[in-house]
Amino acid sequence: MQWYPIFKHIHMLAAYLTALLFILRLIMDAFGRPGWRRPPLRWIPHANDSVLLASAIALLFVTGWMPFVHHWLTVKVLLLVGYIVAGVFAMRQQLSKPVRMAAAAVALAQLLVIFHMAMAKPF
């Protein structure tokens, strides 16, 4: 069980970075500074998301928490899919500003609920 705090800290750090990097990209886009889309900057969120997912899988192994058994986790996984879809729309430059802003709001709302599910584990 000595791995648990390590995986959990990595997962939590990657989770907060995910939120920070998403908000930073939204702000840069809003100010007409799409420089983050060029490599290597554009790969940083992807690298962080890989760490987030790998640490999530590691946590499943060491804790015994399981999606579709523990429903806070099921909701988290479903919202993660929703967050990814909304996030893709929010970042799509071809879409109009109102559509992108609505998508960003939906993505951020889902992210908030993911954090709540992780911390409160209400069911």
* Contacting residues toward ligand HEM, per CB under 6 A: 8, 11-12, 15, 18, 52, 56, 59-60, 63, 65, 67, 73, 76-77, 80, 114-115, 118-119
**What does the chain come to in residues?**
123
Looking at beta carbons only, is 23 or 33 nearer to ligand HEM? 23
Looking at beta carbons only, is 36 or 63 nearer to ligand HEM? 63
Looking at beta carbons only, is 52 or 86 nearer to ligand HEM? 52
Nearest to 121 by CA among 61, 51, 63, 48: 63
Alpha-carbon distance of 70 to 88, in angstroms, equals: 28
Measured in degrees and rounded to the nearest 5, phi and psi for residue 70 equal -105, 115
